[in-house]
Amino acid sequence: SAMPYLEGAVVVIDNTSGGIRALVGGRDYAQSKFNRALAPANRQVGSAFKPFVYTIAFSHGLLPSTAISDGPIQPGEIDGAGNWSPANSDGTYGGTMLCSYGLIHSRNTMSVRVGQFAGLDAVQKVANDLGISKNVPHGPAIYIGSFETDLKDLTAAYSIFPNAGVRKQAYIIERIDNQQHKPIYRSAHILTPALDPGAAWMTSRVMEEVLTEGTAASARSLGFKLPAAGKTGTTNDYKDAWFLGYTSTLTCGVWVGFDQPTTIIPRGYGAALALPVWVQVMNKAAQHYPAEALQPTMQLQHTTVCSISSQLATTGCMGAGTAYDIDLPTVKVPTAACQVHGGAQWPFAQQPPGVPQQPATLPGRFFRSFRRLFGGR
């Protein structure tokens, strides 16, 4: 039966193997044996799904430095949305911001526009492929997590980020020995490429800033000082609070809520309810799983891009104030100069070795989506 008090669940996964190192299904097993970490204990995922939307967009050519509108969603702006116009959780709107700001501060309007760029079919497919959910509705509300999943599957999906886009199937039992102490079962360590490695790294780098200046910045004041990345999650009417994050060695997911979905507290954000639990778990785990800096597994290149076109910056971009320095995976560095502002290619926009300068052309996806990124139809 449902417990009348606030419940929670925790899952911790070893990034190296996929082995589940901790799984807590509730606050008191003696009072309730229902495991809230596993299906069928599915809950709305909310903002915790946003990193996957951004990763797909990054794999299609968007950059963390691309400018996105934080203004209200206009009727007809988002494909398949009709008059649906999601607001930001704090009820405010901003101007044009860097794409990374939308994830760091969990802005719904920006995230929906990023989802529009990523494509509804692609976002739905990644949710299915990563095992997050097999029943994701086909509608733009999925860009901000309006579907359900369980904590174990969502935590396993997050472990893809510290593994450079590779999915390591989560398991509980490592091996079983017989009476002669010989193994009769060993868990198969199944590895599957799941996300574009460069795009996964860019998302991970942005999520590091979630813990330093974004929605989870309070982790530092709560006593967590290790290198890490993660994302808060809050659902409609504050019925579910999530925090999912990882160090170089472990990925941990926390869910907090009532068994019968109801508002926990007004403004019950994931940072206020789930993050403190995550901090305590990960600080304790670090005694046995020491964390190091999150390192890229691919070569990076420092370059200067235009925040409007996401192409190599030109002198025109410098004059317009849209040139932005950024470290990108070499395979993600643009190869064409910005045609929006014109001018000569900016000398600090470094081309990959052996790649000749190309005439300025915007990719087709950018050309089609350009107006919508800025809040137009």
- Whether residues 263 and 327 fall in one domain: no
Per-residue 3-state assignment (H helix, E strand, C coil) for the chain? CCCCCCEEEEEEEECCCCEEEEEECCCCCCCCCCCCCCCCCCEECHHHHHHHHHHHHHHCCCCCCCEEECCCCCCCCCCCCCCCCCCCCCCCCCCEEEHHHHHHCCCHHHHHHHHHHHCHHHHHHHHHHCCCCCCCCCCHHHHHCCCEECHHHHHHHHCCHHHCCEEECCECCCEEECCCCCEEEECCCCEEECCCHHHHHHHHHHHHHHCCCCCCCHHHHCCCCCCCEEEEEECHHHCEEEEEEECCCEEEEEEEECCCCCCCCCCCCHHHHCHHHHHHHHHHHCCCCCCCCCCCCCCEEEEEEECCCCCECEHHHHHHCCEEEEEEEHHHCCCEECCCCCCCECCCCCCCCCCCCECCCCCHHHHHHHHHHCCCC
- Whether residues 172 and 313 fall in one domain: no
Has residue 290 been placed in a domain? no
What tens digit of pLDDT does each residue of 162-174 get? 999 999 999 999 9
Q: Domain of 266: which CATH number?
A: 3.40.710.10
> Is 66 a residue whose pLDDT tops 70?
yes
> Is 360 a residue whose pLDDT tops 70?
no
Q: In sequence order, what are the beta bridge partners of 326?
A: 303
Tell me which amino acid residue 329 is: P
| Residue pair 144/110 in contact by the 8 Å Cβ criterion | no
- Whether residues 147 and 82 fall in one domain: yes
User: What domain range includes position 69?
Assistant: 7-285
Q: Which two tokens stand for residue 111?
A: 């995230």
- Whether residues 281 and 314 fall in one domain: no
- pLDDT at residue 375, as a whole number: 64
pTM of the model: 0.91
Q: Would you place residue 4 in the very low, low, confident or very high pLDDT band (cuts 50, 70, 90)?
A: confident
> What's the rounded Cα separation, in Å, for the pair 223 and 83?
44
Q: Would you place residue 257 in the very low, low, confident or very high pLDDT band (cuts 50, 70, 90)?
A: very high
What tens digit of pLDDT does each residue of 201-251 get? 999 999 999 999 999 999 999 999 999 999 999 998 999 999 999 999 999
- Whether residues 264 and 118 fall in one domain: yes
> What's the rounded Cα separation, in Å, for the pair 110 and 107?
6
- Whether residues 81 and 176 fall in one domain: yes
> What's the rounded Cα separation, in Å, for the pair 328 and 60?
14
Has residue 117 been placed in a domain? yes
Q: Would you place residue 343 in the very low, low, confident or very high pLDDT band (cuts 50, 70, 90)?
A: confident
Q: Would you place residue 186 in the very low, low, confident or very high pLDDT band (cuts 50, 70, 90)?
A: very high
- Which of 258, 285, 312 lies at the terminal end of a domain, its last residue? 285
β-bridge pairing 250-257 and 300-306: unpaired
Which residues lie below 8 Å from residue 332, measured CB to CB, with a gap of 6+? Answer: 58, 63, 198, 199, 202
Has residue 60 been placed in a domain? yes
Has residue 293 been placed in a domain? no
- Whether residues 222 and 94 fall in one domain: yes
- Which of 285, 315, 335 lies at the terminal end of a domain, its last residue? 285
Which residues lie below 8 Å from residue 144, measured CB to CB, with a gap of 6+? Answer: 46, 47, 49, 50, 86, 108, 111, 112, 115
Has residue 157 been placed in a domain? yes
- Whether residues 261 and 311 fall in one domain: no
Has residue 76 been placed in a domain? yes
Residue in the block written with tokens 């639990």: 277
What tens digit of pLDDT does each residue of 302-324 get? 999 999 999 999 999 999 999 99
> Is 349 a residue whose pLDDT tops 50?
no
- Whether residues 224 and 366 fall in one domain: no
Has residue 177 been placed in a domain? yes
- Whether residues 210 and 345 fall in one domain: no
- Which of 285, 313, 333 lies at the terminal end of a domain, its last residue? 285
Residue in the block written with tokens 């789930």: 274
Number of domains in the chain: 2
What tens digit of pLDDT does each residue of 116-129 get? 999 999 999 999 99
- pLDDT at residue 359, as a whole number: 32
- Whether residues 149 and 245 fall in one domain: yes
> What's the rounded Cα separation, in Å, for the pair 212 and 245?
13
Q: In sequence order, what are the beta bridge partners of 180?
A: none
- Whether residues 278 and 335 fall in one domain: no
Has residue 357 been placed in a domain? yes
